[in-house]
Amino acid sequence: MTERRRVVALISGRGSNLQAVIEGVRSGAAPAELVLVVSNNPAAAGLAHAAAAGIATAVMDHREYPDRESYDRALTDRIDAAAPDLVILAGFMRILGPVFVDHYEGRLMNIHPSLLPAYPGLETHARVLAAGETEHGCSVHFVTRDVDSGPIIIQARVPVHTNDTPDSLAARVLEQEHRIYPIAVRWFCEGRLSLRNGQVLLDGRARDPQELRADGVIA
Ligand code: NHR
Ligand code: GAR
């Protein structure tokens, strides 16, 4: 039995990706233990899911700090008190500064609702529709200083339908997010996934771009 890795999650809202990871851990699929959920938004619904699952929660409201750096420092202190092996961003809506990102290098992941490197940033679904794309998806990546540009761990694709709205498209993508984030967390917690010299290694091998985008579960 692998020892369980300690995971801290950062959220800002609904927390459905957090819920998917909680379920992945609860089902025994990932040798992990969610030790803390932190939200920058006191009203985040995800805080209640976490509490219901018996996970410690904390609110750290960025509006109570004079600048980004002091917020990042306070957040780092709070997270480090939980001694995490892995920190996951799950719908976390604040950009993190270099001090934070460097501190957690190789153990900080994000899920982003696009096929990165396409469509970094916010409102991805509306932009994908406006551009007339036929394909969209989601990506889990290691977080680096440059927002939404870190090395990609796994992606999933979905078709774009002609009658899609941003909401209908978001729902199709979200289903895939819930599938791939628990996989990435499991790989990391099994000790199979790492970041080496800016490259993602799974089982000691660099991830092949075709493999990254496989629709089938690569487990
Ligand atoms: N921080 C770093 N350094 N690198 C990344 O890759 C990060 C990150 C912080 C968050 C998530 C990301 C996404 O998946 C993420 C990746 C928020 C913004 C943003 O512009 C951009 C990207 C992401 C999250 N936030 C505004 C800000 O000023 C606030 C927007 C709001 O509060 O609604 O921080 O999309
Ligand atoms: C998800 O679609 C996630 O990919 C996206 O926000 C949603 C959060 O949903 N993340 C970002 O856009 C980060 N900027 P959730 O709170 O239900 O997991």
Q: What is the CATH number of the domain that holds 197?
A: 3.40.50.170
* pLDDT of the residue at 3: 87
C-beta separation of 11 from 43 below 8 A: no
Q: Which ligand is nearest to the CA of 12?
A: 2
* pLDDT of the residue at 2: 65
Tokens of 49: 């899911």
Residue 40 within a domain: yes
Give just the sign of the alpha carbon dihedral 165, 148, 97, 78: positive
* pLDDT of the residue at 28: 84
Instruction: Give the pLDDT mean for 56-78.
Output: 98
CA–CA distance, 94 with 116 (Å, rounded to integer): 18
Both 32 and 61 in one domain: the answer is yes
Task: Answer yes or no: is the C-beta of 89 below 6 A from any ligand 1 atom.
Answer: yes
Whether the per-residue pLDDT at 186 is higher than 80: the answer is yes
C-beta separation of 219 from 190 below 8 A: no
Instruction: Give the pLDDT mean for 87-101.
Output: 97
* pLDDT of the residue at 43: 98
Instruction: DSSP letter for 44, please.
Output: -
User: Catalytic one among 112, 125, 141, 178?
Assistant: 112
Residue 184 within a domain: yes
Residue 23 within a domain: yes
Residue 73 within a domain: yes
Known catalytic membership, residue 112 = yes
* pLDDT of the residue at 166: 98
Instruction: Give the pLDDT mean for 64-79.
Output: 98
Query: Ligand 1 pocket: which of 38, 65, 94, 123 to mutate (most atoms <8 Å of CB)?
Result: 94
Range of the domain at 76: 1-104
Count of CA atoms in the C-beta half-sphere (13 A) of 110: 27
Q: How far is the CA of 47 from the centre of ligand 2 (A)?
A: 15
Both 218 and 120 in one domain: the answer is yes
Both 125 and 217 in one domain: the answer is yes
* Mean pLDDT value across the chain: 94
Instruction: Give the pLDDT mean for 1-15.
Output: 92
Both 5 and 73 in one domain: the answer is yes
| pLDDT band at 207; cut points 50, 70, 90 | confident
4-8, 76-80, 126-130, 214-218: which range is least confident on average?
214-218
Tokens of 219: 């487990």
Tokens of 39: 């939200």
CA–CA distance, 125 with 131 (Å, rounded to integer): 10
The structural domain count of the chain equals 2
For the entire predicted model, the pTM comes to 0.95
Both 130 and 165 in one domain: the answer is yes
Instruction: DSSP letter for 163, please.
Output: T
